[in-house]
Amino acid sequence: MTPPRKRALITGITGQDGSYLAEYLVGLGYEVHGLVRRVALEQPELRLGRLRSVLSQIQIHPANLDSYASIFHVLSQQRFDECYHLAGQSFVAESFADGFSTMSTNINGTHYVLAALKELQPKCKFYFAGSSEMFGRVHETPQRETTPFQPRSPYGISKVAGYHLSANYREDFGMFCASGILFNHESPRRSFEFVTRKISAGVARIKLGLASELRLGNLEAQRDWGHARDYVRAMHLILQQPEPDDYVVATGEAHSVREFCELAFAEAGLDYRDFVKRDEAVHRPAETDLLIGDASKARLVLGWQPTVGFVGLVKELVQADLELLASTTQQNPSAVHPG
Ligand code: GDD
């Protein structure tokens, strides 16, 4: 007899990670459900675009991270084996502009999901999307699971709180709660406000003659950049372990924004020095120190490793944006590319 299909709930399913995870789990034979804001159902072309390839195979439920009642309602209707909590305000710069809403959504949203699971489905495994931003002013390099946290942004603080909430539900109530401490992970599905996509979309606009410059903040900032498709595999592996635990997920290699620009412009046959301009307005009040992850534990225990390196990642983003912009402008020559 075939075992029943596993059922997974993904919060933040419309985002970059949520969409890759949904595809991955559907491919593994899961019954996949997602929480989305009601507005997404009203504008499916705009808000559910990343889910295009799996939309007919998944189930979507309206709920709001700011509302315990709406989360409780969904969890009281359906049983799940695994819950991946990816939803939240994820743009670090925005958290400096409006720390209150970042804190409220990220901390309360996590707390609501955990509390509703405890009440209704305490056996459901819970994944928390932790972040390298939790390390902030780093105590050691590279950072691993035992490195102390010292966040430097309201976003980082909210992620530390979510991490501790998850650990508390694990320790106090015996629930299977685990965190992935994920370093930056990118893809052609990244939103345009993040630096990688801002650069690849900027390169495409310049190459196609729609822009003449790209304004960026700190070019010397370094990040450990991996591919989002690799990182969602780690999320799944984290919930397949016999015991709940926390894992750093990273490539172990750091590169600067400047290096990213150099490669990205070169991919389109351009020299970044001719187009990139400094924009003081994009500088952040505080930067993290050098964030590089040591994912030895994930490699050893989960058997996880990244398949896409820095050069491959940059090429993929630039090629995807060149194709996207070329097809958009062909269909509608007056279209202005977002970003
Ligand atoms: N966004 C942006 N725009 N960043 C810029 C720019 C610019 O014009 N110029 C330089 N940077 C620098 C930022 O100062 C930062 O040091 C670095 O580029 C990366 O910025 P982001 O791409 O916005 O990502 P992030 O590192 O702040 O946060 C991302 O990674 C975290 C760790 O995985 C987000 O995905 C977070 O949600 C995630 O937790």
Distance 195 CA to ligand 1 centre (A): 6
Q: Element (H or E) spanning 183, and its range?
A: none
Tokens 């970044």, residue? 272
Under 8 Å between Cβ of 10 and 17: no
Active site residues: 131, 133, 155
CB 339 within 8 A of CB 202: yes
| Interatomic CA distance for residues 303 and 204, integer angstroms | 37
pLDDT of residue 338: 45
For the chain, state the CA radius of gyration.
20
Amino acid at 104: S
Which of 187, 257, 261, 317 best tests ligand 1's pocket when mutated (most atoms within 8 Å of CB)?
257
Tokens matching residue 182 = 């994920």
Cβ atoms < 10 Å from Cβ of 150: 15
Do 315 and 264 touch, CB atoms closer than 8 A?
Answer: no
Mutate to test the pocket of ligand 1, among 182, 184, 191, 290 (most ligand atoms within 8 A of CB): 184
What contacts 24+ positions apart, CB below 8 Å, involve 276-283? 276/213, 276/214, 276/215, 276/216, 276/219, 277/213, 277/214, 277/215, 277/216, 278/215, 278/216, 278/217, 278/219, 279/215, 279/216, 279/217, 280/217, 282/93, 282/215, 282/216, 282/217, 282/218, 283/217, 283/218
- For the CA of 279, the nearest atom of ligand 1: 8
Q: How far is the CA of 169 from the centre of ligand 1 (A)?
A: 30
What are the pLDDT digits (tens) for 70-112?
999 999 999 999 999 999 999 999 999 999 999 999 999 999 9
- Which atom of ligand 1 is nearest to 90's Cα? 37
- Ligand 1: centre distance to CA 257 (Å): 9
Q: pTM score > 0.75 for this model?
A: yes
Which residues are within 8 A (CB) of 197 and not within 5 positions of it... i.e. 6 or more apart? 186, 188, 190, 191, 317, 321, 339
* pLDDT tens, the chain, 339 aa long: 778 899 999 999 999 999 999 999 999 999 999 999 988 888 888 889 999 999 999 999 999 999 999 999 999 999 999 999 999 999 999 999 999 999 999 999 999 999 999 999 999 999 999 999 999 999 999 999 999 999 999 999 999 999 999 999 999 999 999 999 999 999 999 999 999 999 999 999 999 999 999 999 999 999 999 999 999 999 999 999 999 999 999 999 999 999 999 999 999 999 999 999 999 888 878 777 789 999 999 999 999 999 999 999 999 999 999 999 999 887 776 554 444
Position 224: which residue type? Answer: D
Residue with tokens 């301009």: 277
Question: Measured from the CB, is residue 182 less than 6 Å from ligand 1?
Answer: yes
Distance 215 CA to ligand 1 centre (A): 14
Say if residue 321 is exposed, middle or buried (CB neighbours under 10 Å; 0-12, 13-18, 19+).
Answer: buried
Distance, CA of 283 to CA of 253 (rounded, Å):
23
Helix (H, G, I), strand (E, B) or coil at 223: strand
Domains in the chain, please, with CATH?
7-186+225-249 (3.40.50.720), 195-223+254-291+309-331 (3.90.25.10)
Assess whether the C-beta atom of 216 lies below 6 angstroms from ligand 1.
yes
Residue with the smallest CA separation from ligand 1 atom 19 is 195
Is the CB of 276 inside a 6 Å radius of any atom of ligand 1?
A: no
User: Rounded to whole angstroms, what are the CA distances from 57 to 80, 189, 334?
Assistant: 16, 20, 35
**Cβ–ligand 1 contact at 286 (below 6 Å):** no
Q: How far is the CA of 166 from the centre of ligand 1 (A)?
A: 25
| DSSP element (H, E) containing 242 | none
